[in-house]
Amino acid sequence: MTTSYDLIVIGGGPGGYAGAIRAAQLGFNTACVEKEEILGGTCLRVGCIPSKALLQSSELFHEAQHSFADHGIESDNLRFDLDKMLKRKERVVTTLGRGINALMKKNKITRYSGLGSIVGDAEGGLVRVAVTKSDGVEEISAKHVIIATGSKVAQLRGIQVDGDRIGTSAEALSYPEVPKHLVVIGAGAIGLELGSVWSRLGAEVTVLEYLDRIIPGMDTELAGSFQKILTKQGLKFRLGTRVTGAEVKDDGCLVHIEGSEPIECDRVLMAVGRVPNTQGLGLENTGIATDTRGRIPVNGHFQTSSPGIYAIGDVIAGPMLAHKAEEEAIACVERIITGYGHVDYSTIPYIVYTSPEFAGVGSTEALLKEQGIPYKKGSFPFMANGRAKAMAISEGMVKVLAHAETDRVLGVHILGVQAGELIAEAAAAMSYGASSEDLARTCHAHPTLAETIKEAAMAVDGRAIHM
C-alpha cells in the first residue's frame, strides 16, 4: 500500500518547510521530502544564515580594529581565531536546523529523507512521488504536491569549479585560512557580502563584474555611493569586465579576462547568480515544461500545467529570495485549503548585508522612468541623524519615491546602518498603500535611526527639519 497524504512538499528550504507547517496548521496531513540531512535549504545550510554569522564576526573584528579607539576602548594586541569563527557559524546553523526539525514534529509533519521526484500526473486524484533513499525507493502519494526545491549556483563558461581553489559561496563560507588575494566574480549581494567578510579579515579582494555597475536592479544613485564606500573599505572593483576562464595553477589560481592580462590569486569565488533546481524532479513524467531560464511556469495561484502540482520559490519567476519563497508557499497552501492566498510582489524587500547595509523595496527611479510614472522624491542623509552620529556610523542615506499626483509611496531605498531592519517599516507602509505624507506624519521616537525615513518622507515635499 502506498502511503497517501493531503499534501506532499518536495524541498525543505524556507518555502518548503513554511508551506508544510502552514498546511498542517490548517488541518492537512502533510509530508515533506528533503534530500539534505538538515532542513532549511541553501539559506540555512550554506547561504543566508552562515554568511550572516561570518559577517557579524568579521564586522566586530573590523570595528575593534578601526572604531573602538574613538569610543575610548583600547584593544591592543587584537587578533582573531578563524577556527572559532567557523565553529560558531556551524553552531548557529545546527541550532536553527534542530529548531526546524522540532517544528516539523510539533506540527506532526512526516519527514522523508531522500530525493523526491514525481512519478506521473495525478491518477485517481492523487499525484505519485518517489523518494529515492540510500536504502532504496519508497513511493508516496497526495492530492496536492508543491515543488519547492530552490536553486543552485549558476555556472560560468570557461570556469570549472573544483570545490577548493575555485569555488562557490559554499566553499567561501569555510576557507581554512584567510586568502592573500581573493577574486570574486560577480558584484551582486553574495559576492559583496562574502568579499567583505574576507576583506575585513585581511584578504586583498578584487571584484570582477561584467556590467558597468554593482548590485544590478537596485537604486542606481545609492549603488554608486555604495561602491565608493566599499572601495574605501579596501575592496577593489573592475567593472565592465568579461571573465573568460579560471584555472588552478600551482598553489593558486589564474583568472583570464577578455582584453587584459590574467589575474593571479589564491582563491576564486564564483558568484554570478543562481538557477532553478529542477533537475531530477521527474517533470518529464508530468508534461510540465520549463521556460528558457529553467523555471517552472505557474498561474497566479502557483498551479503548474499538471493537475495537483504547484511550484513556489526559486523554481518559478521572480527574485530568488528566501522570504519571497516563504510568502509564496503560505499563499499557495492557503489558496488550496481556504480558497484565498495572495503575495504582494511590489512590497518584497531586498537587502545586502554588508556594512553599511543596502536595502530597498518597491520601484527604483530607473524603473519609474522606464514605465513613464510621474514621481517625486525625498532623501535624507544618516550624517544628519542624531542616533547614527552617536553610533559613529553615519554613511549613506534614505530615499523615498512617491507618486507625483497621488503621493502614494512607490519605493524606498536605504544605504546605511541597519538598513535591513529599517526597510520593514517601508514595506509595511507600502502594503497598506501609505503616502509619503503618512510616513511624514507618523511620530518616530527620538533619537532613532528610523527618523531618517520620516525625514526623507518629509523631504518629498521639501520640508525636512534637520537638513
Task: State whether 287 and 402 are in the same domain.
Answer: no
Task: State whether 317 and 453 are in the same domain.
Answer: no
Question: Where is the domain boundary, 343, 365, 398?
Answer: 343
Task: State whether 76 and 16 are in the same domain.
Answer: yes
Task: State whether 268 and 282 are in the same domain.
Answer: no
Task: State whether 191 and 110 are in the same domain.
Answer: no
Note the pLDDT of residue 145. Answer: 98
**How many CA within 13 A on the CB side of residue 93?**
25
Question: Where is the domain boundary, 209, 239, 272?
Answer: 272
Note the pLDDT of residue 121. Answer: 72
Domain range for 246 is: 166-272
The domain spanning residue 412 has which CATH number?
Answer: 3.30.390.30
- Contact between residue 347 and residue 324 where contact means Cβ atoms under 8 Å apart: no
Of 154, 117, 129, the residue nearest 276 (C-alpha)? 154
Measured CA to CA, the distance from residue 112 to residue 443 in angstroms comes to 50
Q: Is residue 77 part of a domain?
A: yes
Number of domains in the chain: 3
Task: State whether 144 and 181 are in the same domain.
Answer: no
Task: State whether 267 and 285 are in the same domain.
Answer: no
Task: State whether 7 and 65 are in the same domain.
Answer: yes
Note the pLDDT of residue 402. Answer: 98
Q: Is the pLDDT of residue 122 over 80?
A: no
| Band of pLDDT at residue 449, cut at 50, 70 and 90 | very high
| Band of pLDDT at residue 75, cut at 50, 70 and 90 | confident
Q: Is residue 467 part of a domain?
A: no
Please, what's the b/e burial string for 282-307 (b: 16 or more CB within 10 A of its CB; e: otherwise)? Answer: bbeebebeeeeeebbebeeebbbebe
| Band of pLDDT at residue 120, cut at 50, 70 and 90 | confident
Q: Is the pLDDT of residue 123 over 80?
A: no
Mean local confidence (pLDDT), 256-277: 97
Q: Is residue 370 part of a domain?
A: yes
Catalytic site residue from 66, 342, 446, 466 = 446
Q: Is residue 68 part of a domain?
A: yes
Question: Where is the domain boundary, 222, 245, 272?
Answer: 272
Cell 552617536 sits on residue: 390
The domain spanning residue 241 has which CATH number?
Answer: 3.50.50.60
Task: State whether 454 and 410 are in the same domain.
Answer: yes
Note the pLDDT of residue 2. Answer: 84
Task: State whether 83 and 181 are in the same domain.
Answer: no
Strand partners, 399: 379, 413
Note the pLDDT of residue 452. Answer: 98
> At 321, is the secondary structure helix, strand, or coil?
coil
Cell 510539533 sits on residue: 106
Which three cell numbers, joined as nine digits, stand for 102? 522540532
Q: What angle do CA 308, 312, 318 make, to 5 degrees?
A: 140
Note the pLDDT of residue 125. Answer: 87
Q: Is residue 32 part of a domain?
A: yes
- Residue 256 appears among annotated catalytic residues: no
Q: Is residue 310 part of a domain?
A: yes
Q: Is residue 466 part of a domain?
A: no
Q: Is residue 175 part of a domain?
A: yes
